[in-house]
Amino acid sequence: MGEVERLRTRFARFLIAILWANVGLLLVATPAGGPAQSNLIVMGAALAILSTLAWRIDRIGWVTRQVASVALIGQVMLLVYAFAGHPYQADLHMYFFAMLAVLAGWLDWRIFLPATLAITAHHLALNAFNSMGVFPGGSDIKRAFLHGAIVTVQAAALSWIVWALRQAVESSERERSEALAARSIADEARRDVAETTARAAHERRRILHDLANEFERKIAGIARAVIASIASLRAASVQMRTGAEEVSQRSVAASKASRSSSSNVVAITAATAELASSFTEVDRQVNEAARLVGDTTRQALTVLDRVGDLSRKVDEIGNVTNVISTIARHTNLLALNASIEAARIGNMGGGFAVVAHEIKGLADETWRATEQIQSQIDAIGLSGADAIDAIDAMTATIDTLNQISIAVAAVVEKQNVATAGIAENVRRAADETVTAGGHIDIVSRVAEETGEAANHVADSADVLSRQSADLDTEVADFLGRIRAA
């Protein structure tokens, strides 16, 4: 039911009440002894009954509106006629205008046409056949037309007012219906946005947790491998430093032996047996040096392998860092897209825009963290390369020392075989002893350099250990932020 029908329904009850009130007015206010008093009351009641029946059957339909409106005007006619000759007869003509105004409650301008015609016909008919029933002074055709003109003007004004009012009511009703429909659509859209936002937030949290778990799994494995490699590198550096110290000590001993051999060469002419004994001692020292050189060579190769493993692990960390950087860029792009979508949907996307801004900030922090990690990895790579170069140099030097030791052993063997040419051999022994002393000094310097390289490798291992700890802290902080997002 529309607003017009609701107003007409309420007005119908009010109009029926007025019709029965007019019957009471005919019963009470008609002057005693007036013309056909009982007939007027019966006719007034008949009009009220007819209108009531029409209302009960047709409710607010066209028939009810017409019957009730004409019946109301007819009761006013009966009242004017009942007051014929009374001083109030002229005043009751204003009741026509009042009832016309009341009929505006139907919100139907067509009601005024039959009502106006009924009033005009009433005045003209009574003026012609019973002028005292309408005008106290008798017949007055001009007065009848004047009343008709006044009623027509009032009816026209009321018709326009009722038409405009009905248009306004219907327009208001349409606008309210449209507003209700728009509100329903807006509520549905808000519910859809809320559900979509909730699903998107849940999916985003799930993806971030999965990404964090996968990232943690990969980084944890690599970190364990790096830590193991660092431990191996540190142990290898300790072994290499120990070996270098041993070589240095043996070099000192060999240097002393060489100097002792030089002294013995001066006195070899007096004690050949003592010379042979010296050569035996030199041979033993050379064999011992060869053994130490072999041990040092193997240790250097082990350190080289460890440093190579460390370089490969550093490369794996670099690959993971690149993956993190790619994820950060993708996260940044997703945050930018989310900001654009939030700006597009307007005020309802304010909360989503805040979430998108937080995600972008987290992606930027991740990007900076990966850059720092990459720079540290580059530094580790350079340290590893330096360690490899130092180990290669040490290996080459040790190979030279090994060859020298072999040469010294051969010379000693020749000296033992050629004891008959002792004079020549003494000269050669002196020369070889001097040469051996020089080489022993070289071995000593190489041992010192090897120790320094071992210290450098140990320091690099310590730096790498601290950087690994920093990486673990950064990764833990990064994963915590992702899981808390």
First to last CA, the chain: 53
Q: Is residue 36 part of a domain?
A: yes
Please compute Rg for the chain using Cα positions: 61
Q: Are residues 280 and 422 in the same domain?
A: yes
Domain-located, residue 246: no
Q: CA 479, CA 367: separation in Å to the nearest integer?
A: 14
Per-residue pLDDT at 19: 96
Other CB atoms within 10 A of residue 401 CB: 24
Contact 398, 297 (CB under 8 A): yes
- 369-379 CB burial, b ≥16 within 10 A, e <16: bbeebbebbee
Residues 262 and 405 in one domain: yes
d(CA 170, CA 214): 65
pLDDT for the residue numbered 278: 66
Instruction: Answer whether 112's CB lies under 8 Å from 155's CB.
Output: yes
Residue of 84, 78, 177, 62 lying closest to 118 (CA atoms): 78
Looking at residue 381, which CATH number applies to its domain?
1.10.287.950
- Is 115 inside a domain boundary? yes
Q: What is the largest CA-CA distance in the chain?
A: 191
User: Could you tell me which residues come within 8 angstroms of residue 92 by beta carbon, excluding any fewer than 6 positions away?
Assistant: 76, 79, 80, 83
pLDDT the model gives residue 184: 85
Look at residue 171 in the predicted model and tell me its pLDDT. Answer: 85
In a domain, 482, yes or no: no
Boundaries of domain holding 381: 257-444
> How far is the C-alpha of 380 from the C-alpha of 473, rounded, in Å?
18
Domain boundary among 119, 139, 159: 139
> What per-residue confidence (pLDDT) applies to 227?
67
Give the pLDDT score at 305: 81
Task: Give which of 468, 469, 477 is closest to 366, Cα–Cα.
Answer: 477
Long-range pairs of 87-96 with CB within 8 A, sequence gap ≥ 24:
87/136, 89/135, 89/136, 90/135, 90/136, 93/147, 96/151
Q: What pLDDT is stored for residue 23 in this prediction?
A: 93
Same domain assignment for residues 262 and 410:
yes
Total number of domains constituting the chain: 2
Question: What gap in Å lies between CA 244 and CA 256, rounded to an integer?
Answer: 18
* Domain-embedded: residue 214: no
Comparing C-alpha atoms, which of 244, 250, 236 is closest to residue 398?
A: 244
> Are 276 and 412 contained in the same domain?
yes
Is residue 111 one of the residues assigned to a domain? yes
Domain boundary among 84, 105, 139: 139
pTM: 0.39
Residue at 324 is within a domain: yes
Would 87 be classed as within a structural domain? yes
Phi, psi torsion values for 277, nearest 5 degrees? -60, -40
Rounded CA-CA distance 104/117 in Å is 16
Last residue of a domain, one of 84, 119, 139: 139
How do the pLDDT tens digits run along the chain, 485 residues long? 688 899 999 999 999 999 999 999 888 877 665 556 678 889 999 999 999 999 999 889 999 999 999 999 999 988 888 887 777 777 788 888 899 999 999 989 988 888 888 888 877 877 777 766 676 666 667 777 887 788 888 889 898 998 988 888 888 888 888 888 888 887 887 888 788 888 877 877 777 777 777 767 766 666 666 567 667 666 766 676 676 577 567 666 656 765 665 666 556 556 566 656 766 776 777 677 678 767 777 876 786 787 677 677 767 767 777 777 787 777 778 777 777 877 777 666 666 667 677 777 877 887 787 788 778 778 767 776 776 776 677 677 767 767 866 775 676 677 667 656 765 765 676 676 667 567 656 756 755 776 676 677 667 767 777 776 776 787 677 667 776 76
d(CA 144, CA 92): 15
